[in-house]
Amino acid sequence: MNLKELSRALELSQTTVSRALNGYPEVNAETRQRVEEMAAKLGYAPNQQARRLATGRAMSIGHVVPRSLHEMMNPVFMEFIAGAGEAYSQHGYDMIISVVGDQDVEDAYREIASRKKVDAVMVHGPRIGDNRPALLAELGLPFLIHGRIPGLEKTTSWIDVNNGQAFERATNLLLDLGHRRIALLNGLEDMDFAARRRAGFEKAHADRDLPVDPKLLRAADMTEPYGADSALSMLRQKAPPTAFLVSSMITAIGVARAIGLCGLKIGRDISVITHDDALSFLPNSGEVPIFTCTRSSVRHAGSRAAHLLIEKILPDPTTLVSEYLESELIIGQSTGPHQAN
């Protein structure tokens, strides 16, 4: 069932039928209704490929995911995608995801651009000194960054959590509780979000003229064993930390495991604050959440990002938008005052 057949069935021109279905005003109301009914009856829907070609709009948004990035952001990325995907559907956009090797990212973007596969792209996992904005500008591909790139805050569009402030507040909470040896289990620090979190952590210390022990700082892919192994080795050193600030629930779960292995009790002997992306399969809610956390729904971020991209940037790609996402500091069961054993 295509437009030609439909218009023949209606004894109307393709022009009129097309216009009727696309809501143009120069169509008699009665005619429009007749067209809509017939279209529904015959199950007509415009061929997407033809429409794309005719309009010049791909009606889809691209996500290029390098394997390595995705390796560590896996669940976070998925949740973001879920949020974005819903928003895309609402706007009639398709989401196309390219999983490519790390070296092939640039090629992937070039291919996407030259073949006109998408109208815009979402940039994930911005790094310090990231060159994707330059590349995308050269290719003429509108984009929105989930996160920020230092130095490009004013010249690119982005949506981000205030990571620095969130971790500063979390650190202050621990300091207020009397903790003085706080470990930071961060993500890889060439990622912008991780660098900002570390900065917040350090600022909180600096504001009180407290030192930061480099031995208590780690940065790695945020896996469960990373949390467990790091916590284990730190807790066994001569001057162990009394609190942990962790960049991911998954890693925090590892920390909790290590604390248990050491025969200590989380929240009483050792305090833990984690960032909680509100992943659906790792709920940390309830009356009193298991983990004290800085929480910000990454799914909501995906949804907002998609809306901004479609509603603001696509209509006029020169528009610059930037938006901060809420992040709450929520007290759970994993924090308590420093034990002056």
Partner DNA sequence: ACACCCATCCAAACCGCTTTGAATAGAAAG
Partner DNA sequence: CTTTCTATTCAAAGCGGTTTGGATGGGTGT
Binding positions for its own copies, rule: CB under 8 A:
1, 43-50, 52-53, 58, 60, 65, 67, 70-72, 74-75, 77-79, 81-82, 85-86, 88-89, 94-100, 108, 111, 114-117, 221-225, 250, 253, 256-257, 260-261, 279-283, 286, 290
CB of residue 7 to DNA, shortest distance in Å? 7
Quote the tokens at residue 100.
Answer: 């490519």
- Which residue in this structure is represented by tokens 């209509």? 315
CB of residue 187 to its own copies, shortest distance in Å? 11
Tell me which amino acid residue 226 is: Y
Establish if 28 lies at the interface with DNA (CB under 7 A): yes
Q: Judged by CB, which is closer to DNA: 53, or 206? A: 53
From residue 185, give the alpha-carbon distance in Å to each of 89, 171, 220, 255.
37, 13, 8, 9
11 binds, among DNA, its own copies, none (CB under 5 to 8 A by kind): DNA
In the sheet that holds 271-276, the strands lie side by side as 217-219, 182-186, 243-246, 271-276, 292-295, 328-330
CB of residue 113 to DNA, shortest distance in Å? 13
Give the interface segment with DNA, choosing from 54-62, 63-71, 198-206, 328-336 (CB under 7 A): 54-62
Closest alpha carbon to 245 in 309, 284, 192, 202 = 202
Q: Judged by CB, which is closer to DNA: 31, or 165? A: 31
Closest alpha carbon to 149 in 105, 192, 106 = 192
Tell me which amino acid residue 115 is: R
16 binds, among its own copies, DNA, none (CB under 5 to 8 A by kind): DNA
CB of residue 135 to its own copies, shortest distance in Å? 14
Quote the tokens at residue 113.
Answer: 């651009």
Establish if 14 lies at the interface with DNA (CB under 7 A): yes
Tell me the C-alpha distance between 148 and 144, whole Å.
Answer: 10
By the 8 A CB rule, do 141 and 120 touch? yes
Q: Judged by CB, which is closer to DNA: 57, or 169? A: 57
CB of residue 168 to its own copies, shortest distance in Å? 26
Establish if 4 lies at the interface with DNA (CB under 7 A): yes
From residue 44, give the alpha-carbon distance in Å to each of 1, 6, 35, 231.
6, 8, 10, 60
- List of residues contacting DNA (CB under 7 A): 2-4, 11-16, 18-19, 21-22, 26-29, 31, 44, 46-47, 50-51, 53-56
